[in-house]
Amino acid sequence: MRQAAWGILVIGVLGAGACGGGDGTVADTPAVTDEGRLDPGNPGDTGFADIDRTDLAPPPDAAVEDPGPGEDPGTVVDPGTAPDDASTDPGTPDDPGASDPGTPDPGASDPGPAYHPEGWSDPAVHGAALKVGQEDCRTCHGTTLSGKGNAPGCDDCHSEGWRTNCTFCHGGTDNATGAPPRDLSGATAAAELRYPAHTAHVSRTRHPAYDCKECHVKPAALLDPGHILDDTPGRSEVIFHDISDAAVRDAAAGRCATAYCHGNGQGDNGAIGDRDPAPDCGGCHGSKAVEASWGGMSGDHRKHLGEGLECGDCHGAVVTGSTTIQNPDLHVNGAVDRTLPGISMVLNTCNGSCHGKFHIGNGW
Ligand code: HEC
Ligand code: HEC
Ligand code: HEC
Ligand code: HEC
Ligand code: HEC
Ligand code: HEC
């Protein structure tokens, strides 16, 4: 899978090369002049889009017609540029025709025009390019992004620990979990977020704080397979684990279905849209307030609720009364928690007398 991805990304990189070329066209094959030199082209046209960047040295004498650094579309850092060393400068050789055209060549060790466009070092620019997977940075910056050739390592500028600091790229606005309220696209307005319910899910409210791994493969390290620069650039994968591992995601509709966590507690039977309002106590299973909902609950819920019992009478570890979740860690945690007061339930059979009715052996 990653092999296939690599092929696609390489194509993407070749295509993206034109971006740095300034005019976006592809083939600027430099013309050969009658002196037998490569013509660097129009001053505004750096013509490097089609040049193999592993061989960045300009052709001999390019400096003669070199538009000069003023035309350089790139930006500040040019780690590959060595100072001109006069001692290696051949000066004016006796035989200019043989191998050296004879003009001092200040560009000989210059890597040429920068690959990236001006302003690229701005985090909002190159950071966004990484996040939407505009091109595979590893092609030039090395497989571990530690730098290669003229392309600097990402660590050269970033704050230490950035690779394991999840909020370096994700979230950090609503909480420190890293769950986006900030999209890969940079959007932060709730109406624009791809999945506005992140904060609700990773917070301990009426349910435990769910980890990213309930709904994604959670990377431990930046370059773990499937995390950044994968074969779905700019799009995250939703893969449910643990509590709702049977759930399915319809990304186009913005909807989750066959989900245990939005179901009635009897199976993988819940569904909800990303922008639906947060469900209330009767939104997933029956509630004390709505008598018509009792019949959908298992066993003798209807009978007991009709006799005036509150949810908390039998689920006291989880709720108080019938509307207050007192221990979110036990609610929608994948297990039905019962705390039957002074009685026990064995094999769906209740033994005890909790509300003045003695019904040992009655089935639930
Ligand atoms: C085709 C090769 C190539 C690719 C792909 C590439 N880079 Fe670069 N990058 C370079 C080179 C070469 C430099 C050195 C300066 C220059 O030429 O712009 C550089 C420099 C940089 C700099 C420093 C810029 C400055 O002005 O100091 C940043 C930041 C950067 N790259 C980020 C990225 C990110 C992020 C990606 C992926 C989204 C990426 N690069 C993809 C070749 C590449
Ligand atoms: C010339 C310096 C420089 C280089 C080289 C560089 N960055 Fe950055 N980048 C920054 C700065 C500055 C920030 C702001 C955060 C910080 O100070 O650590 C940043 C932030 C980012 C962000 C977060 C942006 C956001 O707002 O969410 C991403 C993503 C990023 N860089 C990717 C890369 C990648 C990938 C590379 C290597 C291919 C790279 N950068 C190389 C300077 C650089
Ligand atoms: C309850 C499930 C759930 C949990 C928990 C969750 N996510 Fe997500 N996440 C989603 C869904 C659904 C999407 C939208 C996917 C789509 O349709 O493209 C998403 C999208 C994303 C995206 C891409 C956003 C974009 O711009 O498109 C990132 C990044 C992400 N999640 C990171 C996290 C991180 C980090 C955590 C943990 C701190 C986390 N998620 C926890 C369900 C979840
Ligand atoms: C340098 C930026 C960066 C850092 C740091 C980073 N992520 Fe991500 N993360 C991304 C990008 C980009 C995506 C979307 C990947 C895609 O295109 O599928 C993503 C996606 C995710 C997703 C959604 C599932 C997926 O792979 O698409 C989760 C979960 C996630 N990251 C968790 C983390 C965690 C946990 C950390 C800290 C260990 C972390 N990220 C650090 C950039 C980053
Ligand atoms: C998003 C769906 C959803 C909502 C909203 C919801 N529940 Fe639940 N509830 C469940 C599921 C699923 C279970 C199954 C047991 C489990 O996994 O904890 C459950 C179980 C229960 C139980 C049985 C005890 C247990 O095991 O947790 C009680 C009592 C309960 N819910 C009360 C409430 C109350 C009170 C509210 C409103 C404050 C509420 N529920 C809102 C999904 C929901
Ligand atoms: C008389 C005790 C009793 C009362 C009152 C009660 N429950 Fe239950 N509940 C149980 C028992 C026992 C189970 C376990 C049934 C099983 O495992 O077959 C259960 C199971 C559940 C489940 C799991 C799904 C299901 O239908 O079995 C949910 C959800 C639930 N209760 C919610 C509630 C809510 C909400 C209330 C209040 C409106 C409530 N219960 C009131 C005894 C009670």
Cα(2) to centroid(ligand 1), Å: 23
pTM for the structure as a whole: 0.81
Burial letters 333-348, b for 16+ CB under 10 A, else e: beeeeeebeeeeeeee
Atom 13 (ligand 4): residue with closest C-alpha? Answer: 228
Ligand 5, atom nearest to 265 Cα? 14
Nearest bound ligand to CA 305?
6
Instruction: Report which of residues 48 and 212 the model is more confident about.
Output: 212
**How far is residue 247's CA from residue 257's CA, in Å, rounded to a whole number?**
6
Which long-range contacts does 302-309 make (Cβ < 8 Å, 24+ apart)?
Answer: 307/355, 307/357, 308/355, 309/355
Query: 324-325 and 344-346: which strand pairing?
Result: unpaired
pLDDT at 261 over 50: yes
**How far is residue 263's CA from residue 138's CA, in Å, rounded to a whole number?**
43
User: Does ligand 5 lie within 6 Å of residue 314's CB atom?
Assistant: no
Percent of the chain beyond pLDDT 70?
A: 69
Last residue of a domain, one of 150, 176, 205: 150
Atom 39 (ligand 4): residue with closest C-alpha? Answer: 166
In a domain, 265, yes or no: no
Beta-carbon count within 10 A of 351 CB: 15
User: Does ligand 2 lie within 6 Å of residue 122's CB atom?
Assistant: no
Shared domain check, 142 and 105? yes
**Hey, what amino acid is at 222?**
L
Ligand 1, atom nearest to 116 Cα? 18
In a domain, 248, yes or no: no
Last residue of a domain, one of 150, 172, 197: 150
Shared domain check, 233 and 137? no
Q: What is the largest CA-CA distance in the chain?
A: 117
**How far is residue 293's CA from residue 282's CA, in Å, rounded to a whole number?**
8
Q: Write the pLDDT tens digit of every residue in 298-333.
A: 999 999 999 999 999 999 999 999 999 999 999 999
Shared domain check, 181 and 139? no
Nearest bound ligand to CA 180?
3
Q: Write the pLDDT tens digit of every residue in 141-175.
A: 999 999 999 999 999 999 999 999 998 998 777 77
Q: What's the confidence (pLDDT) of residue 111? A: 57
Shared domain check, 113 and 60? yes
Shared domain check, 303 and 203? no
Cα(156) to centroid(ligand 2), Å: 9
Mean per-residue pLDDT, 21-39: 30
In a domain, 226, yes or no: yes
**Hey, what amino acid is at 99?**
S
Shared domain check, 18 and 91? yes
Nearest bound ligand to CA 135?
1
Atom 24 (ligand 3): residue with closest C-alpha? Answer: 183
Instruction: Report which of residues 37 and 340 the model is more confident about.
Output: 340
Q: What's the confidence (pLDDT) of residue 262? A: 98
Atom 41 (ligand 3): residue with closest C-alpha? Answer: 212
Q: What's the confidence (pLDDT) of residue 2? A: 28
Atom 11 (ligand 3): residue with closest C-alpha? Answer: 195
Last residue of a domain, one of 150, 183, 202: 150
Task: Please report which residue ranges of the chain form alpha helices under DSSP H.
Answer: 2-20, 62-65, 128-131, 138-141, 198-202, 301-306, 311-314
- The answer to whether 336 touches 265, Cβ cutoff 8 Å, is yes
Shared domain check, 48 and 141? yes
Cα(214) to centroid(ligand 6), Å: 25
Nearest bound ligand to CA 343?
6
Shared domain check, 75 and 192? no
Q: What's the confidence (pLDDT) of residue 53? A: 28
Burial letters 68-107, b for 16+ CB under 10 A, else e: eeeeebbbebbeeeeeeeeeeeeeeeeeeeeeebbeebeb
Instruction: Report which of residues 315 and 60 the model is more confident about.
Output: 315
Burial letters 214-240, b for 16+ CB under 10 A, else e: bbbeebeebeeebbbbbbebeebeeeb
**Residue-number span of the structural domain to which 171 is assigned:** 159-239
**How far is residue 345's CA from residue 334's CA, in Å, rounded to a whole number?**
20
User: Does ligand 5 lie within 6 Å of residue 102's CB atom?
Assistant: no
Bridge partners of residue 249, in order along the sequence: 256
pLDDT at 24 over 50: no
pLDDT at 278 over 50: yes
In a domain, 263, yes or no: no
pLDDT at 267 over 60: yes
Mean per-residue pLDDT, 212-235: 92
Nearest bound ligand to CA 209?
3
Shared domain check, 117 and 192? no
In a domain, 249, yes or no: no
Domain total for the chain?
A: 3
Shared domain check, 181 and 144? no
Q: What's the confidence (pLDDT) of residue 353? A: 79
Ligand 3, atom nearest to 212 Cα? 37
In a domain, 48, yes or no: yes
Q: What's the confidence (pLDDT) of residue 179? A: 75
In a domain, 166, yes or no: yes
Shared domain check, 141 and 1? yes
Atom 6 (ligand 3): residue with closest C-alpha? Answer: 212
Residue with tokens 């899910």: 201
pLDDT at 271 over 70: yes
Shared domain check, 4 and 92? yes
In a domain, 279, yes or no: no
Q: What's the confidence (pLDDT) of residue 345? A: 82
Dihedral, 285, 289, 291, 297 alpha carbons, nearest 10: 20
Cα(228) to centroid(ligand 2), Å: 14
